[in-house]
Amino acid sequence: MKCSIPRNSALAAIRRALATSPVVALLGPRQCGKSTLARQLAAGRPATFLDLENPADLALLDQPMQTLAGLRGLVVLDEVQRRPDLFSVLRVLADRHPLPARYLVLGSASVELLRQSSESLAGRIAFIDLAGFTIEEAGPANVVRLWQRGGFPRSYLSASETQSVAWRDDFIRTFVERDLGQLGFNLPSAAVRRFWTMLAHYHGQTWNASELGRSLGVSDQTTRTYLDALTGALFVRQLAPWFENLGKRQTKAPKIYIRDSGLYHTLMGIPDRHTLHSHPKLGASWEGFALEQVISRFPTRDTYFWQTHAGAELDLFLIRQGRRFGFEFKFTDTPATTKSMRVALADLKLDHLWVVHPGTHRYLLDTKIEAIGLAELMTSTKP
């Protein structure tokens, strides 16, 4: 296994954003590769790096306008959530004409970071989300490895399964004991670790604050605070339900997913491929992994699930460029149509519905309903 993996699509997205916006925010969980991408982007051009976790660099920003105003080319501010006050300075610098510098800010997406940047840099900033490796980056031949280990570079590229598991366990511990506080969440680390572990058992299910609160012995509001903290740090996805005047009662609570499959397996105590394939949460694990991959393949803010009290449901519904797409995730090599799929196709007015499976076969199941392997969906130029 090679020691690094090109992330050409992510680099291209950053370059496009920098060409049109004076400030670009690259947001993602810690250790997902933001700094590595920034250094690759800066290669061969004038660039300045300031790491806000480095005391020396942090001291330079005691007078931020004085330090930043004279810089030229690409200016990278890493771990910018430690100094959200910098966004008001960047607003002034971004309005200069001609513009002598472009600014790439890297952050572990905290609530404060998003609030400050939106208020101070409206119309001047572009946002790019970065997660771990995708199938497009790792390659179709490595889908199972990526699913088992997750997309964090150090986990995926570990020399052995044992080392990968150890890295993920240390990562979770470091996040709850140190990083969570730096993101602005003053929460007890032991309680957050218990909550995160319990939340993994609800992976792929609708959120139930009361049930989790009773299990932890805390209030509904406390569980909401913990959930928002993990969501804000991009470790948990809250997939919102889709509402439309369809004349049917629909589910209102979001679905919860642990976004990285490797972290999910560690939280669930699944150490290897053999254990995963005999585990009762095998289907839920596949659903979450495939869902994250598909969302990265079809970037849009309009992502939902759909479920009615009558029993019809759809794992993923997204709207992109005015078109409506549906996805069902099935851990089987021979998926078939269901009544629920046909109801979703009609009621949601889908342009196409894909039934995504782990195999390699692609075939039509019905009008506008197609079975497709996840690897092909992720790498095909025309899915």
pLDDT tens figures, 281-307:
999 999 999 999 999 999 888 999 999
Cα–Cα distances (Å) from 301 to 227, 240, 284, in that order, read 20, 11, 23
Q: Where are the beta strands (DSSP E) in 52-201?
A: 73-78, 101-107, 125-129
Most distant pair of Cα atoms in the chain: their distance: 64
Encoded tokens for 339: 């009544």
Residue 2 has a pLDDT of: 45
CA dihedral 138, 139, 144, 147 (to 10 degrees): 40
Every domain of the chain with CATH number 3.40.50.300 lies at 8-129
Rounded Cα–Cα distance for residues 270 and 260 (Å): 14
**Do 279 and 285 touch, CB atoms closer than 8 A?**
yes
Q: Which ranges of the chain have pLDDT less than 50?
A: 1-3
Burial of 183 (0-12, 13-18, 19+ CB in 10 A): buried
pLDDT on residue 1: 43
Cβ proximity of 293 and 146 under 8 Å: no
Whole-angstrom Cα distance, residue 354 to residue 378? 12
Q: What is residue 380's predicted lDDT score, i.e. its pLDDT?
A: 83
Q: In this predicted structure, what is the pLDDT of residue 164?
A: 98
The contacts found for 68-72 with CB under 8 angstroms, 24 or more apart, are 68/93, 68/101, 69/93, 71/100, 71/101, 72/46, 72/100, 72/101
CATH code of the domain made up of 8-129? 3.40.50.300
Q: Which residues pair with 107 in a beta bridge?
A: 27
Given this model, what pLDDT does residue 104 score? 97
Compute CA distances 246 → 233, 239, 308, 322, 351, whole Å: 34, 20, 10, 19, 17
Nearest to 326 by CA among 291, 353, 365: 353
| pLDDT for residue 117 | 72
**CB count in 10 Å sphere of residue 131:** 20
pTM above 0.85, yes or no: yes
Question: Residue with structure tokens 């506080």?
Answer: 181
Give the pLDDT score at 334: 92
